Structures are given as structure tokens and as C-alpha cells.
A and B are shown apart, each in its own frame.
Chain A
Amino acid sequence: KSSATGHDEL
């Protein structure tokens, strides 16, 4: 899940 890697932030 993307939020688990922090890559959903800019």
C-alpha cells in the first residue's frame, strides 16, 4: 500500500 512507504506525499 502506498501510504506504507510514504510515496503518496509530494
Chain B
Amino acid sequence: MNIFRLAGDMVHLLSFVVLVLKINATKSCRGISLKTQELYTLVFVCRYLDLFSNFISMYNTTMKIVFLGTSFAILYLMRGHKVIKVTYDREQDTFRYLFLVLPCALLALLIHNAWTPFEVVWTFSIYLEAVAILPQLVLLQRTQNIDNLTGNYVFLLGLYRGLYILNWIYRYFTEPHYIQWIVWISGIVQTILYLDFFYYYIKSWKNNVKLALPS
């Protein structure tokens, strides 16, 4: 494991911490897209199907369990917690799941490395992760007064995949035969989706003003 991969994972982990912190500290999930959270949970469930059958390292197994556990915990807070669930922006969070899930499922059926159920479902999770942030970005654009923790959460999520790109470049040059077209292209698409957000996030940080996305 190289430093970029580790940094990427830690930033990813931190994004969960920031999100749970925001929801718990403010007892509110205002500005957070339940749809994106549900899509991420689906991503992790599909990707970590091999959790108990394919052991890579203690680190990997632990992180997978933490990501799954945290995702379900966030879903519980947003859907089941009686104080928090009423703060959910149901009317604003209107992105349709099918517009993302269906094309990703079709693409996974068409483009994959091996025609096995496990591999196709895993590939679907890679495609879906790339676009799962879209409902959140749409909601952010509609939300006036984005709070700092929500802005930081989205920034960390974007940064995580950016660091993975550096990890893939590193691995390409250090590991023989390390070619991962599906993951690389999806990861680049995923990072590109954040570029507009990064621009406004960094601008607001430099000018020391509250983050606001132009609508």
C-alpha cells in the first residue's frame, strides 16, 4: 500500500466522520441527500460481497466493515431517527435513482472484466460510485446557506477519489501489469464531477466567505 492509497482511504473515512458529526452535532441532516447516501450504501454492499470469502488484509476487512456499518448508520439516522428524519429535505432531494442505477447496471452487463455474477456486480458498484454524488450536488445547489461541515464532507469525498488517481499512477509504475481501465476511467469521471464544486469550495475558503453554489 502506498501513501496515496492510504491518504485516500483516510480522507474517505474522515468524510464519514464529518458527516456523522454534522448530523449528530446539529441533530439535523439538512442539505444531505438521502438518495446519495442510499446509493453509496448500495455501492458498498455490491462491492464488498466478497467480505467473508476473499481475505486480503486485516486493514481491508476492517475498512470494509467500517464503511458498511457507517453507511447503514447514516441511513438509520436520516430515515429512522425521530428528531433527525424530520430535517431531511425531502422536497428538494428529487433526483431519480433509476437515471443512475439503470445505466450503470446496463454498462456493467456490457463492459466488465469477467462474466461472473460477482465480477459484474462489483463492476456495477464501480460505475455507480462514480455518479452517486450527483443527487448530493444537485441538492447542494438548491440549498441556501450550506453549512461548513456539509461543504467539508463533499470536499473530502471528492478528494478521496482524486488521491486514488495518484495511487493508480503510482501502482502503474511500480507494479508490473497493473492496468485497470474500468476503475481508472470511472475514477476519473467521478473526480471530474467534483471539479465545479472544488472551484467554489476553494474560492469561498480563500475569500473566507460562506460556500454558495451558483444556481
**Main SS at interface, chain B:** helix
Size class of the A contact interface (CB-based, 8 Å): under 10
Beta-carbon contact of A10 and B113 below 8 Å: no
**Total A-B contacts with CB atoms under 8 angstroms apart:** 28
Size class of the B contact interface (CB-based, 8 Å): 20 to 34
Q: Which residues of B contact A (CB under 8 A)?
A: 5, 9, 12, 50, 54, 56-57, 60, 63-64, 67, 113, 122, 164, 167, 171, 175, 177-178, 180, 182-183
Question: What 15 new A-B contacts, CB under 8 Å, besides A2-B54, A7-B54, A7-B122?
Answer: A2-B56, A3-B178, A4-B178, A5-B113, A6-B180, A6-B182, A7-B50, A7-B56, A9-B164, A9-B167, A9-B183, A10-B9, A10-B60, A10-B64, A10-B67
